[in-house]
């Protein structure tokens, strides 16, 4: 049972009213002019980070960056975070201090307050970060809003994080270690993009998800912006780039460069089998990161 199928099952159990399906849940609140955005992200030793390659501050920073990227994908502003931490015996006081220092530095830079959490002890380190943000009412960017004919865009360049994980050096390793949540870009895209999500698991699986939510197919027929030195497979299927994937009407002007960040059109949304992706005439299978693909 793949991750997509597990999530689909949970979604069915949760009932038709459940907001499961986007990077964040959008919670409406009577009397508020803002909607709330909530996201939770696991950060597990040997799954999302390695003790020997991620220093404590790197780990803390990345644990939070995942959630901030989800808020960015919805066009929101992050406000509070909550950190649940199961500490392994190896994580001493120095490690704990470093972890929170890294996490809090990124939090403060983005106006986010550490507002709570939980602590326990386990054999391996496990962390879950909840981020709560806000967005003007009804303005959240969702995966489901793409229309046939919309252009498909990505920010930045792809495959760098995956390359970095492989060779653990240079700019690509820094890219893997310190992903930069695209919060300003997300807010800029409000009212311009029709659909948006962050690239956490890889373009092929994430675009597949966006297509499924929008009930459309995608045609990729333009050059991908690839990280210098990365291969096409890394750009297509490598996870953790934390760039934004979005769609916009073909008539909407999207600048090629925004605040120094390339915004590249890579294809077009089309009617067809929901979730199907055509890559230069060939069917592209969603091969990005799936925690359960070997189960």
Element (H, E) at 278: strand 277-279
- Footprint on this chain of a copy of itself (rule: CB under 8 A): 1, 3, 6-7, 9-10, 13-15, 17-20, 24-25, 27, 29, 31-34, 36, 38-42, 44, 47-48, 79-80, 82-84, 86-87, 89, 93, 96-97, 100-101, 104, 113-124, 126, 128, 130, 132, 291-292, 295
Give the shortest CB-228-to-a copy of itself separation in angstroms: 30
Q: Which DSSP letter does residue 286 get?
A: -
Q: Which is nearer to a copy of itself, 93 or 256 (CB)?
A: 93
Measured in residues, the chain has a length of: 295
Helix ranges (DSSP H) in 122-202: 160-167, 170-177, 183-189
Q: Which is nearer to a copy of itself, 116 or 255 (CB)?
A: 116
Cα three-residue angle 242-161-220, rounded to 5 degrees? 65
Q: Which is nearer to a copy of itself, 18 or 250 (CB)?
A: 18
Give the shortest CB-160-to-a copy of itself separation in angstroms: 23
Give the shortest CB-151-to-a copy of itself separation in angstroms: 29
Two tokens at 182? 């695209």
Give the shortest CB-74-to-a copy of itself separation in angstroms: 12
Q: Which is nearer to a copy of itself, 93 or 251 (CB)?
A: 93
Q: Which is nearer to a copy of itself, 62 or 284 (CB)?
A: 62
Two tokens at 262? 């390339």
Annotate 57-100 with DSSP letters as a single string. HHHHHHHHHHHHHHHHHTT-EEEEEEEEEEE-TT--HHHHHHHH
Give the shortest CB-226-to-a copy of itself separation in angstroms: 28
Strand order in the sheet with 77-87: 25-27, 34-44, 126-136, 77-87, 113-121
């Amino acid at each position: 049972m793949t991750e997509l199928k597990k999530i689909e099952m949970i979604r069915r159990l949760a009932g038709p009213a459940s907001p499961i399906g986007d990077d964040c849940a959008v919670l409406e609140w009577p009397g508020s002019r803002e909607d709330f955005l909530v996201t939770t992200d696991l950060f597990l030793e040997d799954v999302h980070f390695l003790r020997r390659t991620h220093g404590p501050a790197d780990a803390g920073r990345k644990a939070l960056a995942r959630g901030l990227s989800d808020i960015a994908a919805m066009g929101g502003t992050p406000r509070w975070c909550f950190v649940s931490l199961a500490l392994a015996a190896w994580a001493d006081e120095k490690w704990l201090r470093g972890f929170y220092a890294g996490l809090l530095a990124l939090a403060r830079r983005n106006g986010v307050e550490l507002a709570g959490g939980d602590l326990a002890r386990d054999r391996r380190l496990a962390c879950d970060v909840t981020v709560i943000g806000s967005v003007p009412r009804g303005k959240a960017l969702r995966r489901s809003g793409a229309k046939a004919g919309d252009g498909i865009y990505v920010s930045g360049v792809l495959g760098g994080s995956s390359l970095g994980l492989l060779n653990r050096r240079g700019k690509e390793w820094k890219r893997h270690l310190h992903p930069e949540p695209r919060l300003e870009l997300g807010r800029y895209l409000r009212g311009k993009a029709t659909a948006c999500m962050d690239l956490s698991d890889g373009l092929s699986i994430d675009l597949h998800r966006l297509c499924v939510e929008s009930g459309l197919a995608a045609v990729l027929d333009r050059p991908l912006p690839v990280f210098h030195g990365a291969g096409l497979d890394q750009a297509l299927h490598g996870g953790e780039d934390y760039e934004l994937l979005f769609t916009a009407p073909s008539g909407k002007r999207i600048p090629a460069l925004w605040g120094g960040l390339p915004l590249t059109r890579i294809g077009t949304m089309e009617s067809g089998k929901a979730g199907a992706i055509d890559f230069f005439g060939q069917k592209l299978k969603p091969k990005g990161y799936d925690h359960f693909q070997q189960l």
